[in-house]
Structure 1
Amino acid sequence: MSLLVVGAGGLLGGEVCRRALALGHRVIGTYHSAPGEIPGVGWRPLDIRNRVAVRELCAAVRPSVVINAASRYEDWTVNADGAAAVAQGAADVGARLVHLSSDAVHGGRPEPYGDDEAPSPITAYGASKAAAETAVRAVHPAAVVVRTSLIIGDERSAHVRTAVDLITGRRSGVLFTDEVRCPIGVADLAAAVLELSAGTGVTVLNVAGPDTVTRAELGELIAVRYGLDPLRVPVSTVAASGLHRPGHVVLDSSRASGLLTTRVRGIRELLGVT
């Protein structure tokens, strides 16, 4: 396949590029400020907020698949407007589209969320990701929207870096004991995304890890993985913080498990922690 990976400089986008190249695909990756360092990728500058630039790049590259892994926390113009521009560019050239969304589109509840449940965001970031989904499905009805959870990699992963920095005192803050998620390894998610890029017939799919852990528990597992003291993880609760955040958000990924050959590892296996 010929892939255009939007947001190739990020953790997930970069992993998608590496795996696609290993499979023999032609890969064009976009960057906003500086090209990445993955040999074999054809790097192109792109500001996805510029609709004209997005459409011109898609027309020039004419990929068979576009994967949109671009995201910026609480930036509506990137998350929502940019997603709409990418969807339009892919539709214009008849490319398949895989759009990465987030469990932040849900507001939190005790029961798991199924694939097709309507978004119910309670944060600005969640609202921007929900708006992106709406735009993508309107502009490119055949697109696959992948809802995922906390993406875990090495020290480049924001969640790993945050936990290590909190434990070592390089930054202040806490990890919440009442905020539940389903973390997934970046390599597993990238493999699933590439499977979906070949076409499956689904339009919205949960692809998250099989384990449910609190943010605080995740921090403790990361501490063990990096040889740090898990008792030094600073913890609190969302309720005590006064913040308005989704608490219990669990994605039911059973449909993805039956559809894909990619095996998504649990968080303890992923981190090598027993």
Structure 2
Amino acid sequence: MGHAPDLTSSTTSIPGLLLFRLPVHGDERGWFKENWNRATMGALGLPDFGPVQNNISFNALRGTTRGIHAEPWDKFVSLASGRIFGGWVDLRDGASFGTVFFCELTPGDAVFVPRGVGNAFQTLEDNTAYTYLVNDHWSAGAQAEYTFLNLGDPDAAVPWPIPLNQATMSAQDLGHPLLGAVKPMKPRRTLVLGANGQVGRALRQVFDDVETVDFAGREQFDLGSGSSYSGLDWRKYSTVINAAAYTRVDAAETSEGRADAWRINAASVTRLARAAVEHSLTLVHISSDYVFDGTARVHSEDEQPSPLGVYGQSKAAGDAAAATVPRHYIVRSSWVVGDGANFVRTMAGLAERGAAPSVVDDQFGRLSFAVDIAAGIRHLLETSAPYGTYNLSNDGPVQSWWEIAREVYRLRGADPELVAPVDTEAYFKAGTAPRPRNSALDLSKIRGVGYSPMDAGKRLTEYLQGPEV
């Protein structure tokens, strides 16, 4: 055997179906090949699909034909011996449904088959060993999710080298439906936890047109309950968005609140991160400016956490757990405003009554409207942005709480002069949580992946014109 070619990969007519040419090294004793390599193949486009099971199908006779099966997991197909003709048909719901690709495979070839793409092969030599890695464990329940296509479907028209009337096939494969009767395989779903909070409600709005998103409040999925994890069919999901959190900043300084903050913001996130790793999920987790002490004027994503209080400490611990998931987005926000109790709504109510509040003027940042956080999360997922941490507040000038309160008064037709400035030390009493002085977030990274948050002032105007305020 001569010099082995370099490892290469190429795309095919089916989106996500990749063909690899493998270096095979041989001499008079036989041959050796590196069949799967996470690092080198990943550099050539192979998804980090996390295989958990290796299967081999041995076929004694030339002409053995199996398929067309679309399975609810990804698979990486190669040969240990022999030669096959492979045929693949896209049976996923979407524009590429029915697209066909076929080629001959030897031990020097491999194919990555995405979930929902129908897979079939016909052996061209006796004693062919067909091997494949999959990223979920086979079970009877999983088999019920398969989608099948008839090997002889005239629309797919796979050009089998050995006519099917001369091939060896199973009775089940002979009875599969034609393309027009196939129910396309739906994509895996997205699960939103904490769906009744401010960000959760905004996620309901932003994903309203997507039928593959499930929303769960605490009643449906309690992050702190083991039965929530064991009772969920994780195989249905590819992504989980954690919008649940303990956010009572001052109460977190009490003995009871401290325990609740750590249970929800840290221990439960650690459990969720473990589930994401075990089931190869993408985890989206909402973070907070409170993980910083506010010394820096503007906080970038790579700044080390330095939380002042219990709430910030518990959130920083949850961030660290979420970051252990290979596919994660930590979305860090500040001063959240949405459908629920928040600073802007409180100030609007005071303005309506003509009250004269004192508001701190030495804490600085930007508002983060929940609808823009939710839209940013959708953007990260739909564009497959690089995994990692992203700051996501609204844009515009950095302001103090006092300046924002004055603007709320103005927009509600009240006199901004009613809002008196006060410093943090004078305003907050003993027993309340320390706050970061500066909460402004650097937005250059989120802009770099194509998402530009709306100016906070413009969004504030829209928010105060809404019927719910």
Q: Return the TM-score normalized by structure 2.
A: 0.51
Among candidates 416, 434, 442, match of residue 252 of structure 1 = 442
Count of aligned residue pairs for this structure pair: 257
Q: Answer yes or no: is the 8 Å Cα contact 1:76–1:128 preserved in 2.
A: yes
Q: In the alignment, does 2:283 pair up with 1:97?
A: yes
Q: Return the TM-score normalized by structure 1.
A: 0.84
**Aligned twin of 2:365:** 181
Counterpart residue identity of residue 342, structure 2? A
The structure that is strand-richer by fraction is 2
Higher relative contact order (CA 8 A, sep 6+): 1
After TM superposition, the structure 1 = structure 2 runs for residues 82-161 of structure 1, keeping only pairs within 5 Å, are: 82-138=268-324, 140-153=325-338, 156-161=340-345
Among candidates 370, 387, 391, match of residue 206 of structure 1 = 391
Among candidates 236, 239, 242, match of residue 62 of structure 1 = 236
Alpha-carbon distance change, 96 to 230 in structure 1, aligned in 2, over 3 angstroms = same
Secondary structure in 2 matching 1:48: coil
Q: Deviation per CA, 1:15-64, whole angstroms, max 9, x where unpaired?
A: 11222132x2412111125xxxxxxxxxxx1211113423432x356211
The structure that is helix-richer by fraction is 1
Question: In the aligned structure 2, how far is the partner of 1:63 from the partner of 1:234?
Answer: 50
Counterpart residue identity of residue 21, structure 1? D
Among candidates 455, 464, 469, match of residue 266 of structure 1 = 455
Q: Answer yes or no: is the 8 Å Cα contact 1:184–1:265 preserved in 2.
A: no
Question: In the aligned structure 1, how far is the partner of 2:356 from the partner of 2:228?
Answer: 40
Counterpart residue identity of residue 332, structure 2? R
TM-fit CA distance, 1:224: 2.5
After TM superposition, the structure 1 = structure 2 runs for residues 28-43 of structure 1, keeping only pairs within 5 Å, are: 28-33=214-219
Q: Answer yes or no: is the 8 Å Cα contact 2:351–2:412 preserved in 1.
A: no
Secondary structure in 1 matching 2:214: strand
Q: Answer yes or no: is the 8 Å Cα contact 1:178–1:247 preserved in 2.
A: yes
Secondary structure in 1 matching 2:208: helix
**Aligned twin of 1:72:** 246
TM-fit CA distance, 1:141: 3.2
**Aligned twin of 2:46:** none
Gaps of 5+ in 2: 1-186, 253-260, 463-469
Gaps of 5+ in 1: 34-44
Alpha-carbon distance change, 89 to 166 in structure 1, aligned in 2, over 3 angstroms = farther
Of 116-125 and 204-213, deviating more is 204-213
TM-fit CA distance, 1:169: 6.4
Counterpart residue identity of residue 362, structure 2? D
TM-fit CA distance, 1:122: 0.2
Q: Answer yes or no: is the 8 Å Cα contact 2:277–2:326 preserved in 1.
A: no
TM-fit CA distance, 1:165: 4.1
Q: Answer yes or no: is the 8 Å Cα contact 1:221–1:230 preserved in 2.
A: yes
Secondary structure in 2 matching 1:4: strand
Q: Answer yes or no: is the 8 Å Cα contact 1:181–1:250 preserved in 2.
A: yes
**Aligned twin of 1:8:** 195
Q: Deviation per CA, 1:212-248, whole angstroms, max 9, x where unpaired?
A: 1111111122222333332223431113235632111
Question: In the aligned structure 2, how far is the partner of 1:222 from the partner of 1:82?
Answer: 36
**Aligned twin of 1:233:** 419
After TM superposition, the structure 1 = structure 2 runs for residues 161-176 of structure 1, keeping only pairs within 5 Å, are: 161-167=345-351, 174-176=358-360
Identity of aligned residues (%): 27
Counterpart residue identity of residue 443, structure 2? S
Counterpart residue identity of residue 327, structure 2? A
TM-fit CA distance, 1:71: 1.2
Counterpart residue identity of residue 237, structure 2? P
Counterpart residue identity of residue 402, structure 2? A
Q: Answer yes or no: is the 8 Å Cα contact 1:62–1:93 preserved in 2.
A: no
**Aligned twin of 1:195:** 379
Alpha-carbon distance change, 230 to 172 in structure 1, aligned in 2, over 3 angstroms = closer
